[in-house]
A and B are shown apart, each in its own frame.
Chain A
Amino acid sequence: MIQLQGVSKVYRVGPVKVTALADVSLEIEKGEFTVLAGPSGSGKTTLLRLLYRDEVPTEGEIRVAGFDVTGMRRSRIPHLRRAVGVVFQDAKLLPARNVYDNVAFVLRVLGTPRREITPRVMQTLKAVGLSARAQALPAQISQGEQQRAALARALVKEPALLLADEPTGNLDEAMADEILYLLSDIWNRGTTILLATHRATLADQLKRRTLVLDGGRLLKDED
């Protein structure tokens, strides 16, 4: 599902060069649940952004879900993005639209036939336990619920791969556990998951394959 070969990423900020990733190679199979761990600033977010081509690597080759991410034409990027769902630390919901419309928005911009939209949105909201809050605005629901709405938005297009960048970062422990439970649930239904977190305890608690980044280098790759 994911292959990186000798990937480096150097950000240039004026004259200063920041090496966010250095010679990273790894492989993640279809159907895996992998944790990407490492301290703050170790390059986790950068790695995820390379995977959905929000950034291009300075060096190396990347393949994701059958796409040659590094060599692809710009016009192909939307196709890659349709195969990859992304959630962030903040839910990034559209504040003026209710939960239902935030999720339906994705299907609308992707040109899904109208009659398919409502059943698919409701089914996805049910899967994340938000059916009852479909008509609520983002400001009217808890942060945990907002994060679940963001998950629904990432999942409604049925991506093969879900990238989660600190999805529990803003949540208290109980709500974080709910999201992690939900991720396991999504994984059980066949979605490949890559979860980035700087909390070592979380990585331990999940008991999954864990990739550890430090200073842009891949330190450990353990099951």
Chain B
Amino acid sequence: MLFFLIGEALRDLRRGGRVAVSAVLLIMLSLTALGAFWVLSLNLGRALVQWRDRFRVVVYLREEPPAGQVEGLLEKIEGVGGIQRLRYVSKGQALQALRRQIGGQASVVAELPANPLPASVEVTPAAEAMTPEGTRALIQRLSALAEVEEVQGGTAWVEWLAQFQGLLQAIGLSLGAVLALAAILTATTATTLVLHARREEMEIMRLVGASEMVIRLPLLLQGLIQGFVGALMAVGGLYLAFRLALPTLEPLLSVTLGLPGAAFFAPAEIAVLVGGGSLLGGLGGLRAKGEKPA
């Protein structure tokens, strides 16, 4: 029975011809647009997580504390709250780091009469303080400490990046929604056309006493098939584009976003796309109006 109904659906798809093909293409298009924005936002999200993790607030100290007081100072700093981790950097360590950074010109450093670099504490804000407001408040609390000369750490770019990701998602979702609507309508049109070609079959089915479910199921199935094929094509196309762009994209990503590599959808996300596509097609098929049962 099910095989028969699937066979009828495929037979109808062949009869639907060009309209069925355009329904498949539209579903593909809408899911490609949706998927492309999704992949972008996915990678941006990963970058965001990584950047937040690397984000530091640097607290410069007025004076280098004697070795015995470092522990106490760190405790005092941690006492302001909203701090996940902190690391003390002495004047000597700061100079060493500078030497490593400038490499060949190390002699310049050697000629300095005294170490000009201040001692500092690198502070990683706690996750809950990682919002722009939270970070600003933390910086204020740190600046208020008597031992602190200056606090550095901007939050503007984190804010900007989060907004950009939100924008990207909004564009992707609204574009995808519009295209999805168009895809449903096209699937409906395709099914309606098929319905006309199928009028004789449906008439006979009703005449001999087929249940309404059996009469409508081929319509639902062919919508589902259209959506499924469209979604598979979209995922396939996206993956192809992703692989092709990867060699040029990856160095760019690591320079600008600091990401080691770009990520594609996980299997679960692919399943969501394909399921969504099938749903679009199925909805389109169900919306097609048959003749009223007598």
Could you tell me which A residues sit within 8 Å of B by CB distance? 52-55, 74-75, 77-83, 86, 92, 94-95, 105-106, 108-111, 153-154, 157
Contacts and interface: CB of A to CB of B under 8 A. Distances in A.
Contact of B200 (A54, A81, A94, A157): A94
Interface string B1-16: 1001000000000000
Given A53-B294, A77-B294, A111-B214, A106 B201 contact: no
B206 to A, nearest CB: 7
B294 A109 contact: no
Contact of A110 (B201, B208, B293): B208
B209 A82 contact: yes
13 contacts: A77-B293, A78-B211, A78-B212, A79-B209, A86-B207, A92-B203, A94-B200, A94-B201, A105-B204, A108-B4, A109-B215, A153-B204, A157-B208
B272 interface: no
B294 A110 contact: no
B200 A110 contact: no
Nearest to A88: B207
Say whether chain A's binding surface is mostly helix, strand, loop, or mixed.
helix
A109 B206 CA distance: 10
B207 A81 contact: yes
Contacts of B211: 78
A94 B12 CA distance: 14
B204 A94 contact: yes
A138 to B, nearest CB: 11
Contacts of A77: 209, 293-294
Contact of A108 (B1, B203, B209): B1
Nearest to A86: B207
Interface in B249-269: none
B27 to A, nearest CB: 27
A111 B209 CA distance: 11
Interface of B: 1, 4, 200-201, 203-212, 214-215, 293-294
B200 A111 contact: no
Given A53-B294, A111-B214, A81 B204 contact: no
Nearest to A108: B4
For B1, B209, B210, B215, the residue with the greatest tally of chain A CB atoms inside 10 Å of its CB is: B209
Contacts of B205: 109
B208 A106 contact: yes
Contact of B209 (A81, A95, A153): A81
A73 to B, nearest CB: 12
A80 B1 CA distance: 21
In the complex, which of the residues A74, A79, A108, A154 has the most CB atoms of chain B within 10 Å of its own CB atom? A108
Given A106-B204, A109-B214, 5 more contacts: A53-B294, A77-B294, A80-B209, A92-B203, A105-B201
B215 to A, nearest CB: 8
A15 to B, nearest CB: 23
A55 B209 contact: no
A219 B159 CA distance: 91
A74 to B, nearest CB: 7
A108 B215 CA distance: 12
Nearest to A157: B208
Contacts of A54: 294
A156 to B, nearest CB: 9
A81 B293 contact: no
Contacts of A111: 1, 214
A83 B210 CA distance: 12
A120 B294 CA distance: 28
A74 B204 contact: no
Nearest to A53: B294
A55 B211 CA distance: 18
Contact of A82 (B203, B204, B208, B212): B208
Contacts of B209: 77-83, 110, 157
A83 B207 CA distance: 11
Q: Which of B200, B207, B211, B212 has the most CB of A within 10 A?
A: B207
Contacts of B204: 92, 94, 105-106, 153
Contacts of A80: 209
**Which has the most chain B C-beta neighbours within 10 Å: A78, A82, A86, A95?**
A78
A168 to B, nearest CB: 20
A75 B211 CA distance: 8
A53 B4 CA distance: 27
B262 to A, nearest CB: 50
Given A92-B204, A94-B200, A94-B201, A55 B294 contact: yes
B208 A109 contact: yes
A79 B209 CA distance: 6
A77 B205 CA distance: 12
B1 A81 contact: no
